[in-house]
């Protein structure tokens, strides 16, 4: 063996040894509002997995608007797990590419929802426009900042929450709900590409009087911008935000990472995972953890997509598919 050959062999062996020591790697494709949660959760999982198996693992994250993220996975982004803010984004993985089974939601507890959230109204310090409920968002002179319902789960929850609120008022009907949502959309200067982009518009660019977003995003804003810069208004009625997770079967079977991916998602339901969720203002499923953190979650009357819209597939078809109610309202108002 020549000196050069020995050097190459030694280098290759060192590289292989380093790769073996590094252990397997997972990619979690998620939506943008969950950056902070997974920054906290991933090191806890890595530590717990090392204690259990003796193996080091690496978790990579990808964040963006939820619909855009789901499309990226369908188009070939090799996510081992997908953690979204609405079931349709995971349904799409089955519908368009058979990356998951049709019954993906039944494989984990709580219909694969490790925690939930809801839509709140975030206003400027002192609430200068006196915003107290959804009805105030339709008033002239109120600028509303929100994510785009056409492409993001955050935006869809805001749209559906406003629609459901109008529907449940005395004399409420679909026509009045459409008019009400139309009046709100008329007050939206720009529809952002995701929840975090909407936060940037509201907090950094100082555009708008009220930001519509998830309850847990309010905690991120407080950490980044300070608690005295805004106020959280809980409306009289809101929508239960369902935040599902799934292994991406075709990817994990190709990469040989199924066991690790399943362990990662199951960790979300452990007391430690649920505690980290509560610390990030996600509403945990574990009753003991929920009780421990109950004081930070104001009681809000909630409705679900199933109750008001006949399920997510129906809501998607009626409201957000091309030519649906959202397109009709938006095109009429702009």
- Checking if the pLDDT of 257 tops 80, the result is yes
Residues 148-158 have pLDDT tens digits of 999 999 999 99
Share of the chain above pLDDT 70, in %: 93
Residues 219-231 have pLDDT tens digits of 889 999 988 899 9
| pLDDT-based confidence at residue 179 (cuts at 50, 70, 90) | very high
Residue 246 bridge partners (DSSP) = 82
In 3D space, the residue among 244, 245, 243, 239 whose CA is nearest the CA of residue 309 turns out to be: 239
Share of the chain above pLDDT 90, in %: 88
Residue 19 is predicted with a pLDDT of: 43
Structure tokens at 310: 């006949």
Residue 332 is predicted with a pLDDT of: 80
Report the 10 Å Cβ neighbour count for 176: 13
Residues 30-83 have pLDDT tens digits of 998 999 999 999 999 999 999 999 999 999 999 998 889 999 999 999 999 999
| Residue bearing tokens 């039944």 | 106
């Amino acid at each position: 063996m020549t000196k050069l050959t020995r050097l190459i062999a030694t280098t290759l062996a060192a590289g292989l040894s380093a790769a073996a020591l590094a252990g397997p790697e997972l990619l979690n494709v998620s939506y943008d509002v969950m950056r902070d949660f997974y920054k906290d959760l991933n090191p806890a999982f890595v530590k717990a997995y090392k204690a259990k198996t003796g193996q080091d693992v690496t978790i990579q994250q990808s964040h963006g608007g939820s619909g855009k993220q789901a499309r990226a996975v369908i188009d070939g982004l090799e996510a081992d797990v997908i953690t979204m803010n609405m079931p349709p984004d995971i349904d799409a993985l089955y519908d368009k590419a058979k990356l998951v089974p049709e019954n993906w939601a039944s494989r984990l507890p709580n219909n694969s929802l490790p925690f939930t959230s809801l839509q709140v109204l975030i206003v400027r310090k002192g609430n200068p426009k006196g915003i107290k409920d959804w009805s105030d968002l339709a008033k002239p002179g109120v600028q509303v900042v929100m994510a785009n319902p056409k492409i993001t789960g955050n935006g869809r929850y805001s749209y559906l929450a406003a629609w459901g609120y109008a529907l449940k008022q005395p004399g409420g009907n679909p026509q009045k709900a459409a008019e009400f949502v139309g009046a709100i959309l008329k007050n939206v200067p720009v529809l952002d590409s995701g929840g975090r982009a909407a936060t940037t518009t509201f907090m950094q660019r100082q555009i708008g009087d009220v930001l519509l977003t998830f309850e847990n995003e309010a905690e991120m804003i407080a950490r980044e911008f300070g608690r005295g810069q805004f106020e959280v208004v809980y409306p009289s009625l809101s929508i239960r935000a369902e935040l599902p997770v799934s292994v991406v079967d075709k990817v994990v079977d190709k990469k040989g990472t199924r066991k690790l991916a399943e362990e990662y998602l199951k960790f979300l339901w452990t007391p430690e995972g649920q505690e980290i969720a509560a610390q990030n203002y996600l509403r945990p499923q574990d009753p003991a953890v929920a009780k421990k953190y109950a004081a930070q979650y104001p009681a809000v009357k909630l409705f679900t997509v199933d109750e008001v819209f006949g399920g997510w597939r129906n809501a998607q078809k009626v409201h957000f598919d091309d030519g649906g109610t959202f397109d009709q309202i938006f095109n009429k108002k702009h």
